[in-house]
Amino acid sequence: MDTYSRSHVCLCLRRLEAIRGHAPVTIAGARRKTGSKFVEGVHSLSRALADSGIARGDVVAIAALNSDWYVQLFLAITYIGAIVAPLNHRWSFEEARVAMKLVNPKMLVVDEHCNRWALQLQEEEKNLPSINLYLHIGESPSTFSCNHNYLTIEMVRRFVEASPMPDPIFAPGDIALICFTSGTTGKPKGVAISHTAIIVQSLAKISNIGYGEDDVYLHTAPLCHIGGISSCLAMLWAGGCHILIPKFDARLTFEAIKEFKVTSFITVPAMMADLVAYERKFNLSSNGETVSKVLNGGGGLPQELVRGANRIFPLAKIFSAYGMTEACSSLTFMTLCDPTDKRNGISFHEETTNGTLVRQLGGVCVGKPASHVQIKISSSNGSTCDPFVGNIMTRGLHVMAGYWNHRELITLDFDEKGWLETGDIGWIDCHGNLWLIGRKKACIKSGGENVYPEEVEAVISEHPGISKVVVVGVPDIRLNEKLVACLNIKEGWKWVDRNSKYAAEEKQVSDEIIQYHCRHKNLTRFKIPKIYMLWGKPFPLTTTGKLRRDEVRKDLLSLVQLPSNL
C-alpha cells in the first residue's frame, strides 16, 4: 500500500506551500515563516534527524513550551516515520522520567524552559539508556553540552538541500503520536495515536468549527496536550495562520488578538475564567471583535462564562467539545452561543429534550457525535429501555491504537468488536445528543442509589456564590456512603451558619441556601449533599488539570470530624 492511499499528517505541507507560499504560516515573536519557508524548515529538520540516526519507528520525546520550532519538529519527526512523544512541561523531572521510561525515546528535544531535564539525564544517563541524542530548540544556552550527542537548532538549519524530498514515511502500525494522559491516578499512560486518527479529527474540527485558510489561530493550549495538538493539526490542514505564544496568559492573549487580528482559539473553563476576569479589570472588549470561533474543551463551560465570553467576543460562535486523549480529542460538538441565531440564549435541553426526562436521568448535554464517530450506551444491568443510562462507548477511525508500553501496544480497553470504553456514564436523547453524567470510577453508592458527583457539582456550581465545588462520598453505616460537598466560595461572599439570620442585602451562602438551590434546580433529593465543608485551598489536580478526587476525600477524612449521621 503506497503513502497516498493511507494519508500521512505531512501531506498538509503541499497545500500549505501552494496556498500560503508568501503568506505567513507561523508567527512567533519576531519570527515569521511563510508557507515556503515553513515547509523548507520541516524538510531540513527531517533530513537532519535522519542523518543524526533517527530512523523509522524511533520515538522522539519533546519537552518544550509552544513555538514555531515545535510545530515544524512535530511534522519533521513524523515525516521520516518516527513517533512524537510530547512531555508536559509542567511535570517534575521524576514525572518526566517515568513517562520516558514508558516509551524509550531515542532523542530528547528540549528548550530553555526544560533544559534542566537534559542536564539531569546527562548526569545519570544509565537510567535512560535509550536516549543517545539531544536537540535544543531556541537560543542555545551556555550550559548546553557541545559533544557529538547534542544538536542545536542552528546546527540543524545547515541541512538545507535543493533536491526534492521523498514521500513521507509511516512508522510501524502507522503510529504518529504517543500522547500521555495521567487519568485520575497521576500515573502516565502513553496513548498511541495513528496518522488516520489525527487526520479524521482534523477534518471533524474543520467541519464542525469551520476552520479555514483565512483563519488566524492563536495557540492558547499547550502542544503537549491532545487538544492543543489536534487543533494545531486541524489548522495546518485548513491552511490557516498560526500565532504562537509560549503558554497561555490572559494579557498575552489579548495583546496577540489585537495585534494579529486573531479569529480563533481554544480554551478550557479555567482559561476562559481568566480572560473574563482580566477583561473586566482592564476593559479590553474591543480587542475581541475579530474573533469568530472559540472552542471550549476540558469540561463544561458554565452559563456565566458563556455570557462573559459573548460580551468579550461579540461576533464569535462559542463551541464546546467532549472527548478524551484515547479518542484523539473530540467525540462530540455543540454550539453554546451563536450571535447569528435569534434563539441565542435559550437553554439547550429546553429546546431539544423533555425536561422531565432530564430531571430523571440527569447529566449535562455535550452535543452530537462528529460524523466519523460511533457512540453507544452499554448497559451494565442489561436494560433495554430507551433511553437508558450506561457506559459511554465509542468506535471508529479516531480511536487510539492502544497504550504504549516500551515497544509493545496494549489494547485492554477494547471489547471484541472494537468498542472503546470511555470510562464515562451517560445517555443519548431522542435527538441524538449525548448527555454526560460522570466518571464511572467516581460513582458514589448512597442508600442503594448511584450518585455521580459531577452532576451534583454542575448544579451547585450554578449558585452565584460558589467558585468551585468537589463532591465526595465518605463512609456511613446506614447509607454505605454519604455525600459531602467541599466548597470554594467567591470573593465578596460570606459563609453563614444554618441558624444565622440572613440579611437580604448581603451575599451569603450556607448549607441551607445551597440545599434550596439544588431543589430549585430539580436535583433529585437523594443527590443533594447534607454536609458542606469550606475548602480553604485549591483543589488538587494532576498536571493535565484533572481533579484528584481521592486526594480530596483523603484530606477530608484526615482533617475534620464528620457528623455521625445525616
Residue 140 confidence (pLDDT): 62
What are the two backbone dihedrals, phi and then psi, of residue 91, each rounded to the nearest 5 degrees? -65, 155
- Asked if residue 44 is part of any domain, the answer here is yes
Q: What is the mean pLDDT of the chain?
A: 87
| Cα separation, 119 vs 117, whole angstroms | 5
- Mean pLDDT of the region 401-416: 77
Structure confidence by residue, pLDDT tens digits, 107-143:
999 999 999 999 888 877 667 889 989 999 987 655 5
Domain boundary among 202, 222, 247: 247
Residues recorded for the chain: 566
- Asked if residue 108 is part of any domain, the answer here is yes
Residues 59 and 112 in one domain: yes
Residues 400 and 453 in one domain: no
- Asked if residue 338 is part of any domain, the answer here is no
Structure confidence by residue, pLDDT tens digits, 63-89:
999 999 999 999 999 999 999 999 999
Domain boundary among 232, 247, 262: 247
| Cα separation, 271 vs 277, whole angstroms | 10
Q: Which domain holds residue 213?
A: 3-247
Residues 15 and 114 in one domain: yes
Residues 82 and 151 in one domain: yes
Residues 527 and 412 in one domain: no
- Asked if residue 490 is part of any domain, the answer here is yes
Domain boundary among 247, 282, 300: 247
Distance between start and end Cα atoms, the chain: 66
- Asked if residue 306 is part of any domain, the answer here is no
| Cα separation, 196 vs 178, whole angstroms | 14
Whether 528 shows a pLDDT value over 60: the answer reads yes
Residues 454 and 423 in one domain: no
Residues 436 and 464 in one domain: no
Residue 564 confidence (pLDDT): 47
- Reference 347, options 474, 515, 522; nearest CA is 522
Residues 447 and 427 in one domain: no
Residues 465 and 435 in one domain: no
Q: Which strands make up the sheet holding 480-489, listed edge to edge? A: 466-476, 480-489, 531-534
Residues 376 and 469 in one domain: no
Q: What is the CATH number of the domain that holds 55?
A: 3.40.50.12780
Determine which of 213-217, 347-351, 481-485, 512-516 has the lowest per-residue pLDDT on average. Answer: 347-351
Q: List the grid coordinates of 374.
A: 460511533
Helix, strand or coil, per DSSP, at residue 403: strand
- Asked if residue 380 is part of any domain, the answer here is yes
| Cα separation, 337 vs 306, whole angstroms | 7
Q: What is the CATH number of the domain that holds 531?
A: 3.30.300.30
Total domains in the fold of the chain: 3
| Cα separation, 179 vs 427, whole angstroms | 28
pTM, whole model, 2 decimals? 0.86
Residue 436 CB: number of other CB atoms within 10 A? 24
- Asked if residue 277 is part of any domain, the answer here is no
- Asked if residue 391 is part of any domain, the answer here is yes
Residues 63 and 82 in one domain: yes
| Cα separation, 129 vs 137, whole angstroms | 22
Structure confidence by residue, pLDDT tens digits, 299-308:
778 888 899 9
| Cα separation, 515 vs 483, whole angstroms | 12
